[in-house]
Amino acid sequence: MHSKDHPRAALVQALPELFDPRTWLPTVLAAGGMLRRQDVGGLVRSAADAIGAGTRQEAVSWIALGLRCHPDRLVDEIRRQGIFRCSKYRFHTGQLRPVVSTLLAHAKALSLADDVTHYLQSVSRLLQLGSSVRTLDASLREFLVRRNERALKTVVAVVRLAVYAGPSG
């Protein structure tokens, strides 16, 4: 076991029901001061790994634990690592949407501050656009592949126009 994994392994050992879908919430609520502030970055990496692996409950549990113990630090770290960004998952939001929805559904029980709840609501709204953005992205990529020479000339023309027009144009 790597030394960086030790704090999370200790948490899992101390909170054996953390990932159980029936008992995760009472386990998180009882965790209190179990998580050290300096361990939040690793916790967010664990949540990101869980999202990528499709283990939603594990992701929810890690994030909820961080929100319960160090909410401001956790949200800062989520933003810094970008684990709620659609683009990080190539606009496939199927794994991420249920995680955010579950956290929002339990916001009151987790005693989340209004700003944290608003942040999660904003993330949820952006995730709803994920499939539309993915479709648009695929369409643009296809167009650029088919019309690569013409598209490049158009981009060059637009950039020149922007440069010549200046900031006021």
pTM for the full model? 0.80
Q: Identify the three-state secondary structure at position 33.
A: coil
Contact yes or no for 136/91 (Cβ under 8 A): no
Q: Which is more confidently placed, 162 or 68?
A: 68
63's tokens: 């994030």
Q: Which residue has the tokens 């939001």?
A: 93
Angle between helices 56-69 and 40-53 (to 10 degrees): 160
Q: Kindly tell me the sign of the dihedral angle through the C-alpha atoms of 152, 157, 163, 169.
A: negative
Query: pLDDT digit string (tens) for 6-50?
Result: 678 889 999 999 999 999 999 999 998 889 999 999 999 999 999
Nearest CA among 19, 42, 136 for reference residue 86? 136
Query: pLDDT digit string (tens) for 62-103?
Result: 999 999 999 999 999 999 999 999 888 888 888 999 999 999
